Amino acid sequence: MTKSKKLTGAEIFLECLKEESVDTIFGFPGGAVLPIYDALYDSSLKHILVRHEQGAVHMADGYARATGRPGVVLVTSGPGATNTVTGIATAYMDSIPMVVFTGQVPTALIGNDAFQEADIVGITRPCTKHNYLVKDIKDLTRVIKEAFYIATTGRPGPVLVDLPKDVLNASIEYSYPESVELNSYHPTYKGNLRQIKKAMDIILKSKRPVVYAGGGVVLSDAAAALKTFCEKLKLPTTNTLMGLGGFPGTNKLFMGMLGMHGTYAANMAVTNTDCLIAIGSRFDDRVTGKTEEFAQYAKIIHIDIDPTSISKNVKVDVPIVGDVNNVLKELIKLIPSAKGLKEYKANIADWHTQVDKWSSTHKLSYKDSPKGRLKPQYVIEQLYKATNGDAIITTEVGQNQMWAAQFFLYDKPRTYLTSGGLGTMGFGLPAAIGAQVAYPKRTVVDIAGDGSIQMNIQEVATAVQYKLPVKVVILNNIVLGMVRQWQEFFYDKRYSHTCVSVAPDYVKLAEAYGAVGLATGKRDEVASVLKEAMKVKDRPVIMDFRVDPAENVYPMVPAGQPLNKMLLV
Amino acid sequence: MRHTISVLVINEFGVLSRISGLFSGRGFNIESLTVAETVDPKISRMTIVTSGDEAILEQITKQLNKLVSVIKVHDFKGEPHIERELLLIKVTANAETRAEVLRIVDIFRAKVVDVSPRAYTIEITGDEEKVEAFKELLRPFGIKEIVSTGRIAMPRTPKHHK
Ligand SMILES: Cc1ncc(C[n+]2csc(CCOP(=O)(O)OP(=O)(O)O)c2C)c(N)n1
């Protein structure tokens, strides 16, 4: 430890962020955090002033998803803190590393129903990986160090640190702890070698293997290892929504996404496989459909860093607890000397033929009509062309999210940022802003629904303020499309409260904010609108694509049905 | 299936709420829960009696282990261990029944800790089986109130080292 002069809690806070190599924080001020905001006045730390605290959290989340580094949020006590809850829960469900700092009333007032007091530690206990209330300035540096450590190690997740105002005002000699001592927290990184060998054995004895890879691949930066592994063993591969980009979307072995809106090939392959290799995925109900019939003929191998994910929903045969990247590298090492490799490759030839057949007979498609209404899928295909596939895509929630998953191909990890676990409408725009802050030169596009975009539309002002050229593609179908789709299929077309046709003129709205607004409902104008939007480099662009309100997402496996019971176009 | 689980946790504020929140949030059952400091004042032990099938118990143990405040989780299932709980039982005891109640108290090595003209308050410690049998025998006299500590447990020390 290096000792130095006395600093206030607020100053120490900023020093700690420097130690943690934080370059940007997303925040919104208020009484309880005024000491920090005052210290920020002289600091070189980049602070993005948001328009709503939920926006700050999604921005930090987008920043973290795009970079792999923890997102950092700073808000005030009471309403500032409670406004972060949806964002924190979103990050928690998708295992996103993040540290949220909330102001708190002075320690002497805690529990007194003081002005702007909220028990944010109590409120966020079930939706954070861990959280802290710092009651004594002596604990401040240790807690911040632990918070970053916990957020970024093991299965990542959000950590909240509640900072009472008197702690921020107190002063103490500053020194940053060099290491973390937590005797109750030891994530497992290395997989058990015996289990890894057993897994390899089962794979090589299989005739119909499938890889089902999830967000864990992206989180552990294992995309390269996954590609090598799958290519060496010629494994047909599918991604979950969270896994998209973890395996190249244009690779021959890629079958597309699986699950409720997965491709025909992926869902059929998973239904018929005799060896399912689940990698960094968690058998979510939107993926498995009816669990009893999910991969029912398969021996299941499951690699995940979180033991609670294993055998939670579906019983697995070979659990391997460890970091996905580590375990994949171990598996790859075993390949050259593996017994039966040749026979294996001969044995799986028929399976490849079968998978190819499924892929070609039921490609992802939609009924395009050059004369009729503009189709949302067409807009996404055009976006893919306009960006050469080289963009960071964020999404809102609903049909827009699914079409973005289906009709844009993600070749690289950290390029499809979506709220998969919680399904938070309003995520996409702030997440795009966060990603754009991290990568000012890259193309960042929020694929949005007209319902969702309204949920955090205020952040357009943030993007304008910081000259962030985020692109928003609104697939404007004047309905809460995904809910409308369920009403059409399962509620006898009783469209109860899903029409949102009373909406702002998005072109005018964009202009009112100081952004660029473009709109079209014509197929042959889509490419030119996108082209024009891509030229804008100094402010956000909102594109209003008026698309067919009757369009549905296919394939669809009705909730609770087995994956091979798909409704097709 | 009933299980007694011992959980070593860091002795800090909010830790009880983390544990109980995990149980309620995931729909796990708590039949009883006791908490107290261990020999190391920085560490507390919680003894939780819960029930569920094998898969649920596996989840409970794993989820508990995942909490940052939890140091160690131990399920006593299938392992020699000692369990105890302490109960205070208030039972009707009038002139006619008093002698009989006292005889039962005696047999079970329980203790009368408070006496009034119409009732005895009895203290008993023991494992579940003993305590249940005791309650059964007292029931006909009229049990007015029961307060229990919940169960605590400790593994037996192996008698022979291999
Ligand atoms: C915050 C929040 N509220 C409600 C929902 C439920 N929900 C899921 S999809 C959806 C419709 C979204 O409509 P829109 O943004 O227009 O997208 P579309 O499905 O039309 O593409 C709703 C309301 C949700 N996911 N998030």
Q: Could you confirm whether A53 is annotated as catalytic?
A: yes
Chain centroid to CA A305: how far? 17
pLDDT band at B159 (very low <50, low <70, confident <90, very high): confident
Helix or strand holding residue A89 (H, E): helix A85-93
* B42 near A CB under 8 A: no
Name the residue among B17, B66, B70 with its Cβ closest to that of A122: B17
Determine the residue among B42, B66, B72 to mutate to test chain A binding: the one whose Cβ has the most chain A Cβ atoms within 10 Å: B66
B54-87 pLDDT per residue, tens: 999 999 999 999 999 999 999 999 899 999 999 9
In testing the pocket of ligand 1, which one of A452, A485, A497 has its CB within 8 Å of the most ligand atoms? Answer: A452
Pick the catalytic residue from A482, A543, A556, A566: A482
Burial of B19 (0-12, 13-18, 19+ CB in 10 A): buried
Q: Could you confirm whether A98 is annotated as catalytic?
A: no
Instruction: Answer yes or no: is pLDDT of B162 > 60.
Output: no
Pick the catalytic residue from A11, A15, A20, A53: A53
Residue A521 Cα to ligand 1 midpoint, Å, equals 21
Question: From the CA of A185, how many Å to the nearest CA of chain B?
Answer: 6
Say whether A311 and B55 touch across the interface (CB within 8 A). Answer: yes
What distance in Å separates the CA atoms of residue A507 and residue A346, rounded to the nearest whole number? Answer: 58
Say whether B25 and A306 touch across the interface (CB within 8 A). Answer: no
Pocket of ligand 1 (CB under 6 A): A 396-400, 423-425, 449-452, 475, 477, 479-483
Residue A500 Cα to ligand 1 midpoint, Å, equals 11
Determine the residue among A95, A121, A125, A306 to mutate to test chain B binding: the one whose Cβ has the most chain B Cβ atoms within 10 Å: A125
In testing the pocket of ligand 1, which one of A377, A425, A457 has its CB within 8 Å of the most ligand atoms? Answer: A425
* A308 near B CB under 8 A: yes
3-state secondary structure A390-435: CCEEEECCCHHHHHHHHHCCCCCCCCEECCCCCCCCCCHHHHHHHH
Name the residue among A122, A129, A308 with its Cβ closest to that of B62: A308
Residue A478 Cα to ligand 1 midpoint, Å, equals 12
Residues of B in contact with A133 (CB under 8 A): 13-14
Instruction: Quote the ipTM score.
Output: 0.89
pLDDT per residue rounded down to tens, chain A (569 residues)? 455 689 999 999 999 999 999 999 999 999 999 999 999 999 999 999 999 999 999 999 999 999 999 999 999 999 999 999 999 999 999 999 999 999 999 999 999 999 999 999 999 999 999 999 999 999 999 999 999 999 999 999 999 999 999 999 999 999 999 999 998 999 999 999 999 999 999 999 999 999 999 999 999 999 999 999 999 999 999 999 999 999 999 999 999 999 999 999 999 999 999 999 999 999 999 999 999 999 999 999 999 999 999 999 999 999 999 999 999 999 999 999 999 999 999 999 999 999 999 999 999 999 998 889 999 999 999 999 999 999 999 999 999 999 999 999 999 999 999 999 999 999 999 999 999 999 999 999 999 999 999 999 999 999 999 999 999 999 999 999 999 999 999 999 999 999 999 999 999 999 999 999 999 999 999 999 999 999 999 999 999 999 999 999 999 999 999 999 999 98
The pLDDT value given to residue B161? 60
Say whether A122 and B69 touch across the interface (CB within 8 A). Answer: no
- C-beta separation of A177 from A141 below 8 A: yes
CA distances from A512 to A53, A293, A530, B106 (A): 22, 53, 21, 87
Residues 11-40 of B with CB under 8 A from A: 13-14, 17-18, 21-22, 25
CA distances from A221 to A24, A244, A255, B106 (A): 22, 13, 21, 68
Return the ligand 1 atom nearest residue A477 CA: 20
* Predicted TM-score (pTM) of this structure: 0.96
What distance in Å separates the CA atoms of residue B159 and residue B139, rounded to the nearest whole number? Answer: 39
pLDDT band at B36 (very low <50, low <70, confident <90, very high): very high
Residue B16, classed as helix, strand or coil, is helix
Residue A193 Cα to ligand 1 midpoint, Å, equals 44
Query: What secondary structure does DSSP assign to A307-360, as a single string?
Result: GGGTTSSS--SEEEES-HHHHHHHHHHHSTT-TTHHHHHHHTHHHHHHHHHHHH
Pick the catalytic residue from A18, A115, A333, A339: A115
The pLDDT value given to residue A2? 53
* A133 near B CB under 8 A: yes
Pick the catalytic residue from A165, A299, A375, A471: A165
- Please name which of A126, A122, A80, A118 lies closest in space to residue A100, comparing C-alpha atoms: A80
